[in-house]
Amino acid sequence: MMEVMDILRKYSEIADERIRESISDITPDTLLRASEHLITAGGKKIRPSLALLSSEAVGGDPGDAAGVAAAIELIHTFSLIHDDIMDDDEIRRGEPAVHVLWGEPMAILAGDVLFSKAFEAVIRNGDSEMVKEALAVVVDSCVKVCEGQALDMGFEERLDVTEEEYMEMIYKKTAALIAAATKAGAIMGGGSPQEIAALEDYGRCIGLAFQIHDDYLDVVSDEESLGKPVGSDIAEGKMTLMVVKALERASEKDRERLISILGSGDEKLVAEAIEIFERYGATEYAHAVALDHVRMAKERLEVLEESDAREALAMIADFVLEREH
């Protein structure tokens, strides 16, 4: 059986070809270059690969879902370009962010044109019921991504975020697009309602695990693996499952100390915040929740017939927690 990175490489080539076709006619040249900057900068292309594998896992051809796979990656890229503007982040995938190279107005346009091209990529598959159904899934995920981003921004002003609210936010911001990839892929592959529902659940579970693990890495990894300072999320005051849990469990004194560190922008205080997380088992708790979601994701795959594609999906579920960045 191939390694996960080989699987992603193989399937992302199918998606890349469709993505190139989709954006090749963007003009003027400046807008084209700004639009393709992050696409050509790399990235693992997990989402489009999941769409193609989901199509294959229900007995379809991966190529049947190429339009959907391209659409999902274009939407993901659009959200990254706009996120970097909102968060004032200057580096993405080891390259200067789009707004750093071309300015904010052009970066906003690049995001907008990719967003539009995503729907065009699905529509090009014709107007069958399957295409309409897949398009509805893609549209719905876009709404959720925007809602999730708005919730995330709102949480920065609050210290009473519950675990349930946090899970809803990361579902919308991160997991909804991954679930859309697996669900729309299964639809295009001609899956049964039961198979489509199972793959949607699988996508949702690994999407949640993916985001929780991302937050967890910010605390337990090292700067070299992360490509950014350890604990930068803490210094920026980002709401994560560890923060939610630590604030819920901490003594009055530790709670107040953690609140004063969050969003202080002082990276020297990060180690102290991490100690508070450790003291109340918040780091461990987040890791356990991520593991649990990977287990649930793999259980949902049991609905499908055994195949290489199903095996690959199970491997990707494990890979989500094996990443170091």
**What's residue 325's pLDDT?**
60
The structure tokens 């911001």 sit at 173
Which domains does the chain possess?
Answer: 4-322 (1.10.600.10)
**What's residue 265's pLDDT?**
81
**What's residue 181's pLDDT?**
98
**What's residue 184's pLDDT?**
98
Beta bridge partners of 96: 91
Whole-prediction pTM value?
A: 0.95
**What's residue 231's pLDDT?**
82
The structure tokens 């995920």 sit at 141
**What's residue 4's pLDDT?**
94
**What's residue 170's pLDDT?**
97
pLDDT per residue of the chain (325 residues) written in tens, 0 to 9: 579 999 999 999 999 999 999 999 999 999 999 999 999 988 889 999 999 999 999 999 999 999 999 999 999 999 999 999 998 889 898 899 999 999 999 999 999 999 999 999 999 988 899 999 999 999 999 999 999 999 999 998 888 999 999 999 999 999 999 999 999 999 999 999 999 999 999 999 999 999 999 999 989 887 777 666 778 889 888 899 999 999 999 999 999 999 999 988 888 899 999 999 999 999 999 999 999 999 999 999 999 999 999 999 999 999 999 876 6
Q: Which two tokens stand for residue 16?
A: 């890349």
Cα→Cα distances 289→106, 111, 177, 284, Å = 40, 33, 20, 9
Angle at 177 (CA atoms; ends 175, 180), nearest 5 degrees: 110
- pLDDT tens per residue, range 247-261: 999 999 999 999 999
Q: What is the 3-state secondary structure (H, E, C) of the chain?
A: CCCHHHHHHHHHHHHHHHHHHHHCCCCCHHHHHHHHHHHHCCCCCHHHHHHHHHHHHCCCCHHHHHHHHHHHHHHHHHHHHHHHHHHCCCEECCEECHHHHHCHHHHHHHHHHHHHHHHHHHHCCCCCHHHHHHHHHHHHHHHHHHHHHHHHHHHCCCCCCCHHHHHHHHHHHHHHHHHHHHHHHHHHCCCCHHHHHHHHHHHHHHHHHHHHHHHHHHHHCCHHHHCCCCCHHHHCCCCCHHHHHHHHHCCHHHHHHHHHHCCCCCHHHHHHHHHHHHHCCHHHHHHHHHHHHHHHHHHHHHHCCCCHHHHHHHHHHHHHHHCCC
**What's residue 41's pLDDT?**
87
The answer to whether 65 and 184 are in contact (CB under 8 A) is yes
Residue 189 CB contacts under 8 Å (≥ 6 apart), including other chains: 54, 55, 56, 57, 58, 59, 60, 61, 64, 65
